[in-house]
């Protein structure tokens, strides 16, 4: 398992899988979670970011310790090499001296052999430390890259939170506009109901006047005007106006906007047509000129 974890290909593959999974999970949370869950995820990400920062500090500390061990071993190796050289020089000097010193030389050789074995062990340890130092350096770089990615992910979440705030503000504005339109619609409905009641009243008045005319009621006054002179009033419209009690230009010139709307409904015409043809203005002109 340790060999598998030390394999660079496996390590990078595992790192890529976790990174891709994190990105997919992040985008999934970004698309489906509510603001409260997003904020909870953001707090969890900050905790993981702090954990990653502590891991980065721990790895750097281990790297510094390995560097110190490597320097210490290198210094000890230099001392051992110097000591071996001294022993070899002592051996040569002993061999040139009396035979009584041969025993001391043999002991020195044994000691030198032991020192050589220790030196080999130290060389092996140095290589191991160098490899571990390289691994720690790579892990340190990976930790820096992951920390930078987490910073980018955190910034994305902050931007998304700001967009959510803007969406909420826009939603509140739209709700206010919707309420205002609803109030205007209610007012329009009330106005339409009032116009409908006025139309019913005018229709009742028309029916009543028609009934009286049929029964020989009030006759049409003699001082009536030819209402057809007003552009837009047809003979049929003139008959309807007379049945409603409108016989002169002066009566039409005194209409206000409500009266125009009421008589337009009674005539079965659009109020906009009466305003566009300006019946009231034409009637005022005809009244002033005396035609």
- DSSP symbols for 24-45: HHHHHHHHHS-HHHHHHHHHHH
Query: Which of helix, strand or coil describes residue 232?
Result: coil
How many Å apart are CA 259 and CA 178, to the nearest integer? 32
Q: Mean per-residue pLDDT for 58-80?
A: 81
Match 């020192």 to its residue by tokens: 115
In angstroms, rounded to a whole number, what is the distance separating the alpha carbons of residues 264 and 253?
A: 15
Long-range contacts of 113-116 (CB under 8 A, 24+ apart): 115/80, 115/83, 115/84, 115/87, 116/84
The pLDDT mean for the chain works out to 78
193 falls in which pLDDT band (50, 70, 90)? low
Query: How many CB atoms neighbour CB 288 within 10 A?
Result: 10
Domains contained in the chain, CATH given = 33-166 (1.10.287.1490), 188-291 (no CATH)
**Is residue 5's pLDDT more than 60?**
no
Query: In whole angstroms, how large is the CA radius of gyration of the chain?
Result: 53
* Predicted pLDDT at 258: 94
Residues 6+ apart with CB under 8 A from 34: none
| 116 has a pLDDT exceeding 80 | yes
Q: How far is residue 93's CA from residue 91's CA, in Å, rounded to a whole number?
A: 5
Cα distance between residue 159 and residue 156, in whole Å: 5
Provide the percentage of residues in the chain whose pLDDT is more than 70.
74
Residue 193 CB partners (closer than 8 Å, separation 6+): none
Residue found under tokens 């000097």: 93
Compute the residue count for the chain.
291
Q: What angle do CA 139, 142, 148 make, to 5 degrees?
A: 145
The pLDDT value recorded for residue 120 is 85
Give the whole-angstrom CA distance, residue 291 versus residue 286: 5
Cβ atoms within 10 A of the Cβ of 232, count?
Answer: 14
The closest alpha carbon to 66, from 152, 160, 158, 134, belongs to 134
Query: Which has the higher per-residue pLDDT, 196 or 22?
Result: 22
d(CA 84, CA 98): 22
Give percent of the chain with pLDDT exceeding 90.
Answer: 22
- Does this model's pTM top 0.85? My answer is no
Closest Cα to residue 161, out of 57, 46, 41? 41
Identify the sign of the CA torsion 152, 158, 161, 166.
Answer: negative
Comparing 53-57, 63-67, 171-175, 217-221, which segment has the lowest mean pLDDT? Answer: 217-221
For residue 263, pLDDT beyond 90:
yes
Lowest mean pLDDT among 99-103, 105-109, 129-133, 152-156: 99-103
Query: Which secondary-structure segment (H or E) carries 123?
Result: helix 102-214
Structure tokens at 47: 């905790």
| Tokens matching residue 81 | 């090499």
Q: Is-contact 280 249, C-beta < 8 A?
A: no
* Distance from C-alpha of 83 to C-alpha of 86, rounded to nearest angstrom: 5
């Amino acid at each position: 398992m340790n060999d598998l974890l030390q394999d660079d290909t496996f390590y990078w593959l595992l790192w890529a899988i976790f990174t891709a999974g994190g990105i997919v999970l992040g985008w999934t949370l970004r698309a489906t979670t509510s603001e409260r869950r997003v904020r909870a995820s953001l707090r969890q990400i900050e905790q993981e970011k702090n954990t990653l920062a502590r891991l980065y500090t721990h790895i750097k500390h281990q790297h510094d310790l390995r560097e110190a061990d490597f320097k210490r071993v290198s210094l000890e190796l230099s001392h051992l090499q110097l000591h071996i050289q001294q022993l070899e020089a002592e051996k040569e000097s002993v061999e040139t001296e009396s035979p009584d010193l041969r025993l001391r030389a043999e002991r020195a050789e044994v000691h030198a052999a032991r020192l050589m074995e220790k030196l080999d062990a130290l060389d092996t340890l140095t290589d191991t430390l160098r490899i571990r130092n390289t691994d720690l350096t790579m892990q340190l770089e990976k930790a820096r890259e992951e920390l930078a990615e987490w910073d980018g992910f955190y910034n994305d979440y902050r931007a998304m939170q700001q967009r959510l705030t803007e969406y909420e503000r826009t939603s509140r504005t739209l709700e206010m506009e919707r309420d205002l339109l609803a109030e205007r619609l209610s007012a329009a409905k009330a106005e339409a109901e009032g116009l409908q009641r006025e139309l019913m009243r005018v229709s009742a008045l028309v029916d009543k006047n028609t009934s009286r005319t049929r029964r020989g009621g009030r006759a049409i006054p003699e001082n009536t005007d030819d209402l057809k002179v007003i552009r837009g009033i047809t003979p049929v419209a003139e008959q309807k106006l007379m049945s409603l009690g409108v016989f002169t230009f002066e009566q039409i010139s005194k209409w206000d906007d409500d009266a125009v709307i009421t008589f337009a409904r009674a005539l079965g015409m659009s109020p906009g047509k009466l305003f566009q043809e300006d019946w009231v203005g034409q009637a005022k002109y005809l009244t002033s000129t005396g035609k």
